[in-house]
Amino acid sequence: MTFHKIFLEHPQSTSKPQGYWSHFFFSVSNSLKGIWFMILGIIHGFFPILFPFSTSSFLIRTFVKLVQSNRHQKELRKYIDEETLDDIASCIR
């Protein structure tokens, strides 16, 4: 495998290519936040009074970032029909 394939192919394969470090920092920081909010969701499952909507709010904020980044159009269209995606995009821009 080449250096490009290992480190650069994926970050540069979306609608708006990213450099390695931009991709790295977003991916790692968002994933660590995700782990934190998933733990809060587990705690919330046991004690519903604690952390209400923390996990769902994180997921919604992350989804909004993905839509606004305009980097994942092909992937979004794979899971969301065009009309719904247009409705979502018009609400968050």
With pLDDT > 70 as the criterion, what percentage of the chain qualifies? Answer: 99
| Torsional class of 84: left (φ above 0), alpha (ψ -120 to 50), beta (otherwise) | alpha
Residue predicted with more confidence, 49 or 3: 49
**Structure tokens given for 14:** 């979306």
Looking at residue 7, what is its pLDDT?
Answer: 86
From the CA atom positions of the chain, what is the Rg in Å? Answer: 16
Domain boundaries, the chain: 18-92
pLDDT tens digits for range 30-63: 999 999 999 999 999 999 999 999 999 999 999 9
3-state secondary structure of 64: helix
Looking at residue 93, what is its pLDDT?
Answer: 66
Angle at 91 between CA 12 and CA 81, to 5 degrees: 65
pLDDT tens digits for range 76-87: 889 999 899 888
